[in-house]
Each structure stands twice: as C-alpha cells, then as structure tokens.
Amino acid sequence: MILSVSRRTDIPNYYSDWFYNRIKEGFGYVRNPMNVHQVSRIDISPEVVDCIVFWTKNPQPMMNRLDGLAKYNYYFQFTLTGYGKDIECNVPHKKDMMIPIFQELSKRIGKEKVVWRYDPIIFTRRYTPEYHLKAFEQIAAALNGYTEKCIISFVDMYAKNRKNMNLLKAYEIDKSILSEFAKSISQIAGHNGMQTGSCAESIDLDECGIEHNCCIDRKLIESIIGCRLRVGKDKNQRLECGCVESVDIGTYNTCRNGCKYCYANYSEESVANNCGRYNPASPILCGTIDESDKVTERKVKSLKELQLLFPKHIYI
C-alpha cells in the first residue's frame, strides 16, 4: 500500500503529532468524504505500507522526529511558490524560512526524496507570466542541488475556489504564450539540475520539455524501495492524473494554510469548526467516532513484487 499524507490537508505542518501517534499505534481511521458515517480502519504498519508520500508547504514540525519513520520508505512533495500572503495566507516567508527548511530536509533525507512543487500557477494582474518566471528562477537557483524534480500545474476552477479566483481576477493566457512560458520554466529548471513535470494537465507540454508527471510516482517509489510494485492507476483521480493507487488518511476542511486556490476546504468556518475538534490522540483526524458510524476494516497489503531492481549496468 502507498500511503498519501495527504492530498486533503497539510498533515506534516499542522497534524504531525497525530500522525506520529498513528504510526506508533499502527492504524488510523478515515471517514468516507462521500458518506460521512462510513469509516475505514486502516492498517498503516511497516509490513503493509510500501511508501509514504507526504504533501506539505511546511514540514518543519516533522523535522526533529524523522527518526520515527526509520521503518518506512517515504518522500515529500514540497510546495514552494512565489505567492505572497494575499494568496497563501498562512505560509511562512519563503526566502527567510521555507527555502532553508527545504534545503535542510534535502540534506537530511536526500534530494531525490524531496520533490519541489511550483503549483498551481495562477495568472493575475500581480502574478503575471513575467512575475512567475522571475520568482521561479530565484527559487530554482536556491534549490539547485537540493532536488531533482520540479512539478508545475495551472490552477483548476472548482466550486470551492471559484469565488476566490474571481476575486483575484485570475485569467488564462493564450496557448502560444503558455507554450513559451512553459519552455522558459523547463529551461530554468534544467539549468538548475532539475527535470520538470506537469500535474494532472490535459495540455501536452512535451515539446516544452515538460513531461506528464505522476505525483504518486511508481518509478520514484520503486527506486526508493528497491523493488517493483504491482499497482495500477488511481481510478479515483481525474482522467489527466497519472498517479497510481494510494490510500489517503487526511480529512477535508482541516487545512489551515488558507490558500485562496484551495479545493480541499469548503469555507473558513468549516475549517475552524473541524480544527476545534483536533485531538492528537484520536484515531481519526479532527473528529471522533460515534454510535452512528459504521467502522469496517479496509483490506490493504504490500504491493511489492519479489523481483528486486538492480542498476542498469548489471542487467544482461
């Protein structure tokens, strides 16, 4: 099983105590977002978790306890953009805090295990293509030698973020301008020792040097764990998404980053209400189990194949 921690909320930043307690006890409860009274009990012991994929804008709360993950394989998707507080309201200062944290995490666990996400890209009167290229170049230079890959995406409109996008007066750019923009992104990344991939994009950016990417990346996971996985595409994600199957243990409407483009939060009020229910000792994130809930054991297992991976020069 691949464990996603988490597309739904920033667990490393806000709920690392809860997560480490789940690791210690070896299980967690997850509520079905489509049916709130259906709850799954999920085994997250090292015997069944092949790899953990962390999603975060700030892993600092986890940094002093990485030894607690010694029995697990894992990597981080680290979002680092050029936006200010008008869009990423609660994210600490990028140059003073987040870039040094990125660099330190890379030193601790290895640059191949820290993927830089510059996404989503939003074009507004302030955040023009020229602004993004300048910000991207500055961040890429600072992360040179600290990561091997950068992931980009362009903002998608959902019911949950459409109002904020309209307030920001976000706009789309012409395809030819977008192509030149993407080429520049790829070139900047390449000059700083990084490959560039796109996240769940319907547009083909291959000619720009940007490949379709898998954030829950089978190839990366296989290289980290040293063996092949028997796993298919995640059918619960969008058609354009290339991610393989994973189990997410997060909860919607609990992320306190306050990003205006967020699709995982319904409203500030719902986030405040849910965060008020946070208990690090609870088996479920920002909630409790009551008599109306039906808890069932979710069947999970290791996806590893017995065949080990070897360096290419060993193959006959």
Question: pLDDT, tens digit, for every residue of 223-249?
Answer: 999 999 999 888 877 666 778 999 999
Q: Characterize 127-144 residue by residue with b for buried, 16 or more Cβ atoms within 10 angstroms of its Cβ, and e for exposed.
A: bebeebbebbbebbebbe
pLDDT digit string, tens, across residues 74-103: 999 999 999 999 999 999 999 999 999 999
Instruction: Please report where in the chains the tokens 């019911």 appear, as a residue.
Output: 159
The rounded distance, in Å, linking the Cα atoms of 70 and 21 is: 15
Provide the pLDDT for residue 199: 83
* 217, 234 Cβ separation under 8 angstroms: no
The rounded distance, in Å, linking the Cα atoms of 202 and 117 is: 18
Low-confidence ranges of the chain (pLDDT < 50): 312-316
pLDDT digit string, tens, across residues 214-223: 889 999 999 9
Helices (H) and strands (E) in the chain, counts: 9, 13
Burial class (CB in 10 A: 0-12, 13-18, 19+), 275: middle
Provide the pLDDT for residue 309: 57
- Continuous H helices in the chain: 11-14, 16-25, 60-63, 99-109, 129-143, 162-168, 175-191, 218-225, 268-275
Neighbours of 115 (CB within 10 A): 24
The rounded distance, in Å, linking the Cα atoms of 58 and 93 is: 11
Provide the pLDDT for residue 311: 52
Provide the pLDDT for residue 274: 96
